[in-house]
Amino acid sequence: MPPVRRGRYFDQSPIWLVTGYDEALAVLKDPGSFSNDINTRKDAVDVLAAAGLPDDVAPYLSQTLGAYDPPDHARLRRLVSREFTVRRVESLRPLIQTMVDELVDGFPDEPFDFLERFAHPLPVRVICKLLGVPDEDTERWRTWSDGLTAPDPGAMADSARGLVAYMSELIERKREDGDDRLLSALIRVRDSDGDRLTDRELTSLALTLLLAGHETTVSVLSEGLLLLLNQPPEQERLRGDLDAVPAAVEEMLRVAGPAEIAPMRYAKHDVELGDVTIRAGEPVQVVYATANRDPRRFDAADSTVLGREENPHLAFGNGIHYCLGASLARAEADLSFRTLLTRFGNLSVAATADEIRWQPGAARRLAALPIRATSTPARH
């Protein structure tokens, strides 16, 4: 299969598909040749309409960090990065661990759905706490967040409207009565020129953080656990060496990354990529899922090697649009798998491969993951 070839988007619009690792990396790291700006292009593929989002809320989900070029992107990233830092995420680790423990404490003795009991609720609780969403509203956020990836366009539209309306109201509340959480910090933040985020930018960024911090982590927790459960010897190896968990998480991200495709880009001028010429204005779709399995870049590319030492995967993208939620997803996955391996001496899938259900639609995501978790005495 050529690393760059012609294809079609979900709405059948003609696009270029970039499936090779080196070619994908070249696109991601070259904003001078490939534009992310889908908001000012009249000829842009309407990715949100193709996903079923209504016109009244689509701008809030399109005007995100991933949909801007420099200098607009640099301005937004600079303002957000002043508050959404690795240090802030690291400071959340004790809180994340408490949330992990609370959810694990509720695991039943009989088989249960890991997505329902753990993979869905944990990321929403974390991102809500990070942003400053009141605890009593967390369940509503979870319902809306789940709905945004639902195959039903009506459910997706209702969830999008609910989130936008709620976030606009919450911003007003935080403006009147702020706290030390991220949303209040973003409302207050200014750069050296006195620039600050508009209400629409705040709403869009908060929704970006929700999606980056939720769906990203749901995928690595659920599909990552499935990969681990299919390799019992690796479970034992990791139980004996918990410091190897971060490397295992990176392999989970490579094999079952949270995003299969990158945001759409457009060639700013004629570009030679691979063995083809992409003309100015043509849409370009980087496919993370195939780039991360390129045998030219990864040994045993189609195998899950949880002890892989070198793993420069593209699960979170690369370049100036590198995923804002990457450090948060890694922290949640690291703490979750350490806890699961420590607390349970036997973790297994409670269904056959044919019984594992996947969500319908273009994205490959688990709909349910029935597992058994048998407790074990603490190691000494």
pTM (global) more than 0.85: yes
Whether 380 is covered by a domain: the verdict is no
Q: Does residue 350 contact residue 371 with C-beta atoms inside 8 Å? A: yes
Per-residue pLDDT for 41 more than 70? Answer: no
Domain span including residue 184:
4-375
CATH for 327 = 1.10.630.10
pLDDT tens digits for range 250-264? 999 999 887 889 989
The number of domains in the chain is: 1
Residues with Cβ within 8 Å of 85's Cβ and at least 6 positions away in sequence, in order, are none
pLDDT tens digits for range 4-40? 999 998 888 899 999 999 999 999 999 999 999 876 6
Whether 85 is covered by a domain: the verdict is yes
| Residue 94 banded pLDDT, cuts 50, 70, 90 | very high
pLDDT of residue 83: 77
Whether 46 is covered by a domain: the verdict is yes
Whether 40 is covered by a domain: the verdict is yes
Backbone angles phi, psi at 175, to 5 degrees: -65, -35
* Other residues' Cβ atoms within 10 Å of the Cβ of residue 304: 18
Whether 326 is covered by a domain: the verdict is yes
Whether 18 is covered by a domain: the verdict is yes
- CA angle (354 as vertex; 348, 359 as ends), nearest 5: 95
